[in-house]
Amino acid sequence: MAVKVLLADDQALLRATFRVLIDSCEDMAVVGEASDGAEALELARVHRPDIVLMDIRMPGTDGLAATSAICADPELSATRVLILTTFETEDYVAQALRAGASGFLGKDVTADTLLAGLRTVASGEALLSPAATRTLITNFLMAPAPEAHLAPRGHLSGLTVREREVMGLAAEGKSNTEIAEVLTLSPLTVRTHIHRAMTKLGARDRAQLVVIAYQTGLVRAVPPAP
């Protein structure tokens, strides 16, 4: 079944470009287009897309508010949001992740990178550009918003020792392959532990799992070297 994508961007030309690109793939299809955040939320409830490709800066309801509303809607629990924006600032990355976004890419990405990103997010993985990843680990997670806790510290008690180890390494920015090398496991086993931890903690995807790891104290961010 093709991955259903909803486009949310106030620039009609960009939406048209993204539609042609995405519809050219046999495994993906655009199911709707929104010109602002309010319309994105409305169309998400109508079409139940797998992914919303969301711009941040839009008139009226912006992409961050729309992302928060989509991710908070129980009926859209299967819908993930991939932020695509020109502004990869620390504040935007932090707000997007707190809102529940599963990925964050700059608009300077290539067509192949964008398509690969959509497939990555559709598979349940988190996707962050290098700039966003650095911001996530060294800034946002060092001072998370008090209201943004996704799981109490006690919830980690339901994880096995191995699940905690894998979750901690994922929170340090390591890929499944790198985690497998550190723990002498297969990448498939690592993926299984990641998904079990996500299920137990109620995380939508890897991005939320990383946030939970820091917010519950499983991993502590280290300030970047001067």
The structural domains of the chain, ordered by start, are: 3-138 (3.40.50.2300), 149-215 (1.10.10.10)
Threshold 0.85, pTM exceeds: no
Render 162-201 in DSSP notation, one character per residue: HHHHHHHHHHTT--HHHHHHHHT--HHHHHHHHHHHHHHH
Q: Which amino acid is at 150?
A: L
Q: What percent of the chain has pLDDT over 70?
A: 81
Q: State how far Cα 4 lies from the chain centre.
A: 16
Q: Categorize the per-residue pLDDT at 139 as very low, low, confident or very high, splitting at 50, 70 and 90.
A: low
Q: Categorize the per-residue pLDDT at 204 as very low, low, confident or very high, splitting at 50, 70 and 90.
A: confident
Mean pLDDT across the chain:
82
The number of C-alpha atoms within 13 Å of 93 and in the hemisphere containing its C-beta is: 23
Which residue is listed with tokens 């939970």?
Answer: 212
96-109 confidence digits (pLDDT tens): 777 888 887 877 78
Which residue is listed with tokens 């839009």?
Answer: 58
**pLDDT mean over 29-58:** 95
Q: Are 167 and 143 in contact (CB under 8 A)?
A: no
> CA-CA distance, 140 to 145, in Å (whole number)?
9
Which uninterrupted H or E stretch holds 38? helix 37-47
Q: What is the pLDDT of residue 133?
A: 55
How many CB atoms lie under 10 A from the CB of residue 136?
25
How many CB atoms lie under 10 A from the CB of residue 187?
14
Which long-range CB contacts under 8 A does 56-59 form with residues at least 24 apart? Answer: 56/83, 56/85, 56/87, 56/92, 56/96, 57/10, 57/85, 57/86, 57/87, 58/8, 58/9, 58/10, 59/10
172-202 confidence digits (pLDDT tens): 777 788 899 999 999 899 989 998 998 898 8
Q: Categorize the per-residue pLDDT at 90 as very low, low, confident or very high, splitting at 50, 70 and 90.
A: low
108-121 confidence digits (pLDDT tens): 788 998 898 898 88
